[in-house]
């Protein structure tokens, strides 16, 4: 068994939007399915969506509908029209326990048993401010219990490991809810510190895949969510066909599908985080990790009653993780990324290079030798995230010209559980592969270089049943 690195602090894992399971007042699951059960879960959610849609004017409150979070999603999950595929968190939690002196509270154990690895589930429909307050309550309880469990733990603090929107919830706790004094470090994976254009596209364009493939339309539900509005860009991102100067979405009146009050509220949320300074006063270290080199919508152009996504801003393609632009995943004031893997947004929490870097962020011990470093080749991967059953899955990987031998490397791709096959070299550093007849459900597609054991990144795809 590999040597476990010592972890003295409380480690809290905070998932992104959709990453927490939800139950209704009677205890019935309303959002919990992932992996093979994902399509059934989407249909079940759609049947309940009227009752789950939030009322106007909710702000930072709870609607009182009895919905409560129950745990973290374990496998691939997605909700078309709200957010595209994201991998689960069970693999990350298991890896943390296996490689650090971290322990979760086991099912059936008393609530007062101390644990130093906590998965924080929250109602992702609600505002980040509301969930930051719930995080404060949970941390007060868990950290107090951990500190009291042994004399040498009395000075323990909290280290957060956050994915996507979970970083905004955590930053709200640190900067606005008194968390700075007990927080040592906030590691964020693909957190949209300045927002994600995709969130704005979901709101304005609605259900981009139509109601046919999934038999439901979640547009009204998505447009009621304070959380989704708080994920929209907090930077000038909109232009017109004539090439007008970029404008903030909250400055554009009459934008279809957007709740203007929720958008203004989101702007105040981001402004309050920027103006706080609490984390800086207490020396909280923000460690922003963002995927790079992936085609990422960054700005948009008005087109009819909707928006057309653009990969550029002021003419430059800065890339990102496919969901969060490079300019957005940097913590405000941090200057640059702490780590920039070439990985897709939905799989950052399970990226092997990110996990290797966690040894520097979760333990006070000197780094432990864990084998030779892999000489990975950075790839940009373009592949659909949602398909209809029967459609071919086409994937395109590109090695940048600055990579030595970029046009003659061996690139492999394969669906998890199946063989890795060599992608076709199209010349100029472009490699393609085509996978036919993927069954309905959520899938991980692995992409690697040199040999099938060296997986560089993961693309996630949701295959919907036809008709």
Contact by Cβ (8 Å): 76, 386: no
pLDDT for 36 equals 76
- Over the chain, what is the mean pLDDT? 90
Q: Could you tell me how far CA 357 lies from the centroid of its own chain? A: 18
User: Cα–Cα distances in Å, from 96 out to 213, 219, 356?
Assistant: 38, 37, 11
Measured from the Cβ of residue 60, the count of other Cβ atoms closer than 10 Å reads 16
Q: Quote the pLDDT of residue 372.
A: 45
Distance CA 316, CA 304 (A): 25
Cβ-based neighbours of 13, under 8 Å, separated by 6 or more:
72, 89, 92, 93, 96, 117, 118, 119, 120, 160, 161, 162, 163
143 contacts 158 by C-beta, under 8 angstroms = yes
Distance CA 197, CA 238 (A): 10
Q: Which residues 6+ apart lie within 8 Å of 145 measured at CB?
A: 112, 114
Residue 139 sits at φ, ψ, to 5 deg, of -65, -45
Where does 77-127 have alpha helices with state H?
Answer: 90-99
What is residue 100's DSSP assignment?
Answer: B
- pTM, two decimals, is 0.94
Q: What is the pLDDT of residue 211?
A: 43
| pLDDT digit string, tens, across residues 364-409 | 876 655 544 555 688 999 999 998 888 899 999 999 888 888 999 9
Q: Where are the beta strands (DSSP E) in 250-355?
A: 285-289, 299-303, 306-310
In the three-class reduction of DSSP (H, G, I as helix; E, B as strand; rest coil), residue 72 is classed as: strand
Taking the CB of residue 342, how many other CB atoms lie within 10 A of it?
22
Rounded to a whole number of angstroms, the CA Rg of the chain reads: 22
Cross-strand partners of 387: 463
Phi, psi of 104 (to 5 degrees): -85, 155
Do 335 and 285 form a contact (C-beta atoms < 8 A)?
no
Quick one: DSSP state of residue 345?
Answer: G
| Neighbouring C-beta atoms of residue 255, cutoff 10 Å | 18
The DSSP letter of residue 391 is: S
User: For each of the chain's 467 residues, which pLDDT tens digit applies?
Assistant: 568 999 999 999 999 999 999 999 999 999 998 777 888 888 888 888 889 999 999 999 999 999 999 999 999 999 988 998 999 999 999 999 999 999 999 888 988 889 999 999 999 999 999 999 999 999 999 999 999 999 999 999 999 999 999 999 999 999 999 999 999 999 999 999 999 999 999 999 986 544 445 567 889 999 999 999 999 999 999 998 777 899 999 988 889 889 999 999 999 999 999 999 999 999 999 999 999 999 999 999 988 889 999 999 999 999 999 999 999 998 766 555 677 888 999 999 999 889 989 998 998 876 655 544 555 688 999 999 998 888 899 999 999 888 888 999 999 999 988 888 999 999 999 999 999 889 989 999 999 886 545 567 899 999 988 76
The pLDDT of residue 215 is 62
The pLDDT score that the predictor gives to residue 452 is: 45
Looking at residue 210, what is its pLDDT? 46
Nearest partner of 125 among 18, 250, 49, judged by Cα: 18
- What count of other Cβ atoms lies within 10 Å of the Cβ of residue 51? 12
As a whole number of angstroms, the distance between CA 301 and CA 418 comes to: 40
Query: How many Å apart are CA 243 and CA 272, to the nearest integer?
Result: 31
């Amino acid at each position: 068994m590999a040597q476990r690195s010592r972890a003295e602090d409380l480690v809290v894992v905070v998932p992104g939007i959709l990453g927490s399971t939800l139950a209704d007042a009677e205890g019935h699951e309303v959002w919990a399915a992932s992996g093979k059960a994902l399509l059934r879960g989407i249909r079940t959610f759609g049947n309940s969506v009227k009752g789950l849609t939030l009322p106007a004017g909710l702000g930072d409150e709870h609607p009182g509908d009895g919905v409560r979070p129950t745990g973290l999603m374990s496998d691939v999950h997605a909700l078309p029209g709200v957010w595209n595929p994201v991998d689960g968190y069970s693999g990350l939690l298991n890896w943390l326990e296996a490689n650090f002196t971290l322990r979760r509270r086991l099912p059936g154990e008393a609530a007062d048993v101390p644990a130093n690895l906590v998965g924080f589930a929250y109602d992702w429909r609600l505002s980040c401010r509301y969930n930051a307050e719930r995080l404060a309550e949970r941390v007060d309880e868990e950290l107090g219990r951990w500190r009291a469990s042994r004399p040498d733990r009395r000075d323990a603090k909290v280290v957060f490991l956050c994915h996507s929107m979970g970083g905004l919830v955590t930053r709200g706790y640190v900067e606005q809810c008194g968390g700075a004094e007990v927080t040592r470090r906030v590691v964020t994976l693909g957190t949209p510190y300045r927002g994600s254009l995709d969130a704005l596209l979901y709101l304005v364009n609605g259900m981009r895949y139509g109601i046919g493939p999934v038999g439901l339309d979640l547009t009204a539900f998505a447009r009621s969510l304070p959380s989704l509005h708080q994920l929209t860009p907090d930077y000038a991102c909109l232009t017109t066909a004539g090439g007008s100067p970029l404008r903030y979405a909250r400055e554009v009146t009459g934008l279809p599908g957007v709740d203007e009050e929720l958008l203004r509220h989101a702007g105040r949320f981001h402004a309050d985080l920027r103006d706080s300074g609490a984390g800086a006063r207490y020396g909280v270290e923000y460690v922003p990790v963002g995927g790079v080199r992936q085609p990422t919508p960054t700005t948009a152009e008005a087109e009819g009653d909707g928006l057309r996504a653009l990969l550029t801003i002021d003419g430059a393609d800065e890339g990102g993780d496919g969901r969060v632009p490079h300019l957005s995943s940097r913590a405000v004031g941090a200057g640059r990324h702490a780590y920039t893997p070439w990985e897709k947004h939905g799989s950052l929490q399970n990226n092997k290079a990110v996990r290797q870097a966690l040894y520097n962020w979760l333990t006070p011990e000197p780094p432990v030798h864990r084998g030779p470093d892999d000489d990975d080749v950075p790839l940009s991967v373009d592949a659909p995230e949602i398909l209809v059953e029967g459609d071919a899955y086409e994937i395109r990987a590109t090695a940048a010209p600055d990579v030595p031998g970029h046009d003659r490397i061996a690139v492999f791709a394969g669906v998890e559980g199946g063989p890795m096959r060599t992608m076709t070299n199209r010349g100029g550093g472009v490699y393609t592969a085509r996978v036919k007849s993927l069954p309905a459900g959520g899938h991980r597609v692995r992409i690697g270089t040199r040999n099938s054991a060296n997986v560089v990144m993961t693309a996630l795809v949701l295959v919907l049943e036809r008709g």
